[in-house]
Chains A and B, each alone.
Chain A
């Protein structure tokens, strides 16, 4: 079955760029939508954005000025970059396959923004 795994730094300094990668296994990343979602105590579950395997993307309106999502079909991976982070961006970040709803999800990675 499809499995997803997030990877990247667990600590990012304020004003820098958060970069995460999601590796998909058990199925091809092609012809599907793939999303990033984050969860924090203050903001709950928040959809960040999605990418289609053609490279088409869409992001949450409140984040779109800072978000870049890309896909690498040769590596069966997709990635998130969030620029100019602040403490408010501290959260567990999940990647997920989007079928309108989200399933399955990766296990999540805690990213802390702190100097």
Chain B
């Protein structure tokens, strides 16, 4: 199994800040990575796939990068609606999710 480790587990930031979340895979996943946003009481919603491809309808302030075992999600300028929990997911083998990063208002 290819495990995913996210950091940090929580993050406090202000509207307008640039934030980065990191996901590390236990082995090379060849860009087979998706990022999700989840708000309380709602299902996760995909933001990016193939490490850096933006899903239709997702604002361009969200971006992804990385290769091999290390991947990042960046939000260039936080908006009030971006405060949520973010998850990575690899689909190189059996799908596995990271443990999540809770983004809170400072």
Contacts and interface: CB of A to CB of B under 8 A. Distances in A.
A45 B49 contact: no
A94 B46 CA distance: 14
B43 A106 contact: yes
Size bracket of the B interface: 20 to 34
A29 B99 CA distance: 30
A94 B41 CA distance: 12
Given A61-B1, A101-B91, A47 B43 contact: no
A-side binding surface: helix, strand, loop or mixed?
strand
A31 interface: no
Looking at chain B's contact residues, the main secondary structure is loop
Nearest to B100: A44
Contact of A103 (B42, B55, B96): B55
Q: Which of A102, A105, A106 has the most CB of B within 10 A?
A: A102
Contacts of B97: 44-47
A94 B32 CA distance: 22
B34 interface: yes
Interface centre among A47, A101, A102 (most CB of B within 10 A): A101
B44 interface: yes
B71 interface: no
A17 B100 CA distance: 29
Interface in A88-115: 94, 96, 99-103, 105-108
A60 interface: yes
Interface string A46-63: 110000000000001100
Interface of A: 35, 44-47, 60-61, 94, 96, 99-103, 105-108
**Chain A to chain B: the 7 pairs with minimum beta-carbon distance, closest first:** A101-B34, A105-B43, A45-B97, A47-B95, A100-B91, A103-B46, A101-B49
